[in-house]
Amino acid sequence: MGTGKTLYYSKDHEWIWVDGNLAYIGITDYAQDSLGSIVYVETPKPGKAISKGQVLGVVESVKAAADVFSPISGTVLEVNDDLEDNPGLINESPYENHIAVISLDDPDELSQLMNQQQYEEYIKGV
């Protein structure tokens, strides 16, 4: 998974990368692989306040649609507009293509997420 970034992971297969008080959120390689070819990504509206566990967006593939849950609480600051025209970017490089950037309101929420090693163990048992 070598991105050179320290990522946190949720049990719902979202990743989060924190830069200051910005949190970039996307779906993991495991999630995109499980979904198959992604054909549409519904992103949240900038300015939307979101609580941990709320639906942040939807990723649709040729097989299924899956909700993307926010692993933390915050406000949506921006979305990845590139996904509107090219949702397959998530399949190509899931860790380089976030879905949204939200403000990190409560850094303590990060401690409830998994690190890379924990996540790799978690997906072995899925």
pLDDT (0 to 100) of residue 5: 79
pLDDT in tens, 96-110: 999 999 999 999 999
pLDDT (0 to 100) of residue 126: 79
| 7-124 is a CATH 2.70.98.10 domain | no
Look at the pTM and tell me if it is higher than 0.75: yes
* CB contact at 8 A, 104 and 79: no
First to last CA, the chain: 18
Predicted confidence pLDDT, tens digits, the chain (126 residues)? 445 679 999 999 999 999 999 999 999 999 999 999 999 999 999 999 999 999 999 999 999 999 999 999 999 999 999 999 999 999 999 999 999 999 999 999 999 999 999 999 999 987
Residues in Cβ contact with 60 at an 8 Å cutoff, skipping those fewer than 6 apart: 38, 39, 40, 41, 42, 66, 87
